[in-house]
Amino acid sequence: MAARIGAINTIVVEPDGSLRGWMEYPAQQRESSSLFTLKQDVRLLNEAVVEYTAVQPLQLVIARRGLGLDDVDWFLPHMSSEYFRKPLADGLARAGLPIPQERWFTNLESVGNTGSAAVYLMLDELLRSGRLRDGQRVLCFVPESGRFSSGFIYLTAKMHA
C-alpha cells in the first residue's frame, strides 16, 4: 500500500492499480497501515520524471526561444543520482537538443546530491575550474521530482579581466 497526495484526499493505489480513498479505510487500519505516511512513488519517478521535467518543458523552451545545440556550451543538470544520466541524455535527444556528454558539467560524483543548492554549487565549481570562457552560454536544468516541475536557466558568461 503506497500513500499519495491527491488534489483533495490521500489516495491509495491498490495492487491491481485501482484507487481507494482514505475514508474507505477504518480508522484503526488507517493508523496501523501508516496511510498518512507520505512517500514518493519511485516507480512513477523513474518512468516519467524525465519526460515531464525535461523533455516537454525543453521542447517549449526550444520553440519559444529558438534554442539550438550551437547555443549551449555547457549543460549543468541537477541529477539526484547517476541513474538519471542516460535517461536524461535520451530525453534531451527526444526534445531536439542532444547535448554531448563532454559539454555536461556536474559535480554529483564529488559532492553527491545537494538538492536545491546543486545548481549554485555546479556554477561555482565550473567557474572555479577555469573551463568557462567569456561569452560561453550555460544551460542549467533544475528538476523537482515531488511535483514533476522544473526550471531552465540560460546564462552567458561575462568574465572579468
- Residues 22-32 have a mean pLDDT of 77
List, for residues 61-85, the tens digit of each pLDDT value. 999 999 999 999 999 999 989 999 9
Residue 7 has pLDDT above 50, yes or no: no
Residue 38 has pLDDT above 90, yes or no: no
List, for residues 111-127, the tens digit of each pLDDT value. 999 888 999 999 999 99
Contact 61, 140 (CB under 8 A): no
Per-residue model confidence (pLDDT) at position 35: 65
Written as one letter, the residue type at 10 is: T
**Any alpha helices (H) in 5-157, and if so which ranges?**
27-32, 42-50, 56-65, 85-95, 108-111, 118-129
List, for residues 89-104, the tens digit of each pLDDT value. 999 999 999 999 999 9
Domains and CATH numbers, the chain: 2-32 (no CATH), 42-156 (3.40.47.10)
**Any alpha helices (H) in 51-159, and if so which ranges?**
56-65, 85-95, 108-111, 118-129
Top pLDDT among 30 and 97 is at 97
